[in-house]
Structure 1
Amino acid sequence: MAKPNPKGPTKTVDIFCARCKTKLYRYRKGGKGALVKCFKERISEDFTQEPCTCPGCDAVFAREMLIRGVPAYKMIGGKVTMK
């Protein structure tokens, strides 16, 4: 399968914890669909101390995976919101 575009999109979105509304990431997202996965190379700002764990409420919001051979975070449904 094809790898994601390394340059990536220019539009950024802010990703928040759904439980406590803590800002988690600033992410360069392509398309207009729901947030299913975050490729690590597209995260422009990371506000978490531990990977996949909210710093505000210690909830696990994602899992680390390899998607198309590229490291990514697979989001757990309903745990994050984006603006």
Structure 2
Amino acid sequence: MAKPRAKAPTKTVVVRCSACSTALFKYHKGGKGSLVKCFKTRIAKDYTLTPCVCPECGSEFAREQMIRGVPAYKIISGKARI
């Protein structure tokens, strides 16, 4: 499969925890679909202290994976929102 584009999209969204609405990170999102995966290279500002764990409530919102040969966070369904 092809790798994601090298140039990040201009549109940024704030990804929040579904449980406590704490900002997790700002992400350069392309397209208009739902958030399923977040490539680490496209994260503009990271507010988490531990990867994939909400700093406020401590719930795990994603899993670290390699997607198309690039490190990414695979979002657990219903744990994070835009």
Tell me the TM-score normalized by structure 2: 0.99
Deviates more, 1:46-55 or 1:3-12: 3-12
Structure 1 counterpart SS, 2:41: helix
Unaligned runs of 5+ in 1: none
Q: Within the alignment, does 1:72 sit opposite 2:43 as a pair?
A: no
Structure 1 counterpart SS, 2:72: strand
Which residue is equivalent to 1:48?
Answer: 48
C-alpha distance in structure 1 between counterparts of 2:81 and 2:26, whole Å: 12
C-alpha distance in structure 2 between counterparts of 1:6 and 1:51, whole Å: 23
Taking only the aligned residue pairs, the percentage that are identical comes to 61
Deviation, 1:8, is: 1.4
Alignment of 1:1-83 (within 5 A): 1-82=1-82
CA displacement 1:32-66 (0-9 Å, x = unmatched): 00000000000000000000000000000000000
Unaligned runs of 5+ in 2: none
Tell me the TM-score normalized by structure 1: 0.98
C-alpha distance in structure 2 between counterparts of 1:9 and 1:16, whole Å: 19
C-alpha distance in structure 1 between counterparts of 2:30 and 2:39, whole Å: 11
Query: Over aligned residue pairs, what C-alpha RMSD do you find?
Result: 0.4
Alignment: residue pair count: 82
